[in-house]
Amino acid sequence: MSVGWGFLGAGWIATRAMAPAVHAASGAHLQAVASRSPERSTVLDPLVVRADYDALLDDPDVDVVYVCLANDQHAEWVVKALDAGKHVLCEKPLGRDSDEARHMASAARRADRLLVEAVWTRWHPRFRRLAEIATSGALGDLSSIDSAFTFPGAIDGNYRADPSKGGGALLDVGGYQAHAWVALSGGANDISIEQATSSIGPTGVDLTTSVAALIDGTVHANALCSFEMDEAQHLIVRGSIDTAAMGAGQAFTSWREESTLLVGSTVEVFAPVDAYQVMIEQVSARIQGEDSWVVPMNDTIRVAEILDEVRAIAT
């Protein structure tokens, strides 16, 4: 059986990464696309182009909907898709805050359908290996997690520049780092935000946010998110026995390239992989009742709670 995917939206990430991933994936096919532009929808090469979002949700051959709309549209269309009996993979962040995330999670439980946040980095074999090492005790007792995801972004006229639409660097790239905190610490169940500073742009969104936190009373975490700094990504985890760090390949967005993980003096090499394709295959397998891994909804909600806490105290 091949799972039928339907896309709400045909923007950059859907065109560049997600549609090719579905076409390449085993056990999946791109059944339908609906967007504001039929021409853009056609470029994704679905079996059918639907006139609007509701028409796609009415398609009986669509099993799972990928929501790749602006952040402020996620809650509306995720819930509508779930209520239509569809499983949902939603682009990150799932919600603009934890209340929205919990609302969508509740809708998924009510509909008895799968809801997953598309944090594609977490399906990358290198990240999965780092999480395994960090939570297994191989590094000893964790003492720190340091990360950064910065780039000079042109966000004028983009939803990322609009605070009402869930814009800003923290929601855009901070989620990657908060997911790392959760995955590497085994849930980040107790977090104290010790310091958070933001540089606010003319439209009211944070262009840069830096955060210092204490996880579970013992792990010092530092994260840097920015739309206005030079491009840089890093992720380093230190423990009482050893240190692990992302090596060659972007720390959070390594895509179709060889990458490495540095564990003490050992270099682990990972073959080029499309983590978007892995995500599609794992979500499709879960829908078919197979044993597969997806980002737990509890992790998604915890990340949203962390970002809420950061925004609440950022100066």
Whether 92 is catalytic is yes
Q: Which residues pair with 260 in a beta bridge?
A: 269
Output the 3-class SS for the chain. CCEEEEEECCCHHHHHHHHHHHHHCCCEEEEEEECCCHHHHHHCCCCEECCCHHHHHCCCCCCEEEECCCHHHHHHHHHHHHHCCCEEEECCCCCCCHHHHHHHHHHHHHHCCCEEECCHHHHCHHHHHHHHHHHHCCCCCEEEEEEEEEEECCCCCCHHHCHHHCCCHHHHHHHHHHHHHHHHHCCCCCEEEEEEEEEECCCCCEEEEEEEEEECCCEEEEEEEECEEEEEEEEEEEECCCEEEECCCCCCCCCCCCEEEEECCEEEEECCCCHHHHHHHHHHHHHCCCCCCCCCHHHHHHHHHHHHHHHHHCC
Q: Which residue has the tokens 């044993």?
A: 291
- Which member of 80, 86, 92, 165 is catalytic? 92
> How far is it, in rounded angstroms, from Cα 116 to Cα 248?
28
* Length of the chain, in residues: 315
Among 30, 90, 26, which residue's Cα sits nearest to residue 62? 30
Q: Is 27 left (phi over 0), alpha (psi -120 to 50) or beta?
A: left
Closest to 147 (Cα-Cα) out of 222, 37, 219: 222
User: So which residues are the catalytic ones?
Assistant: 92
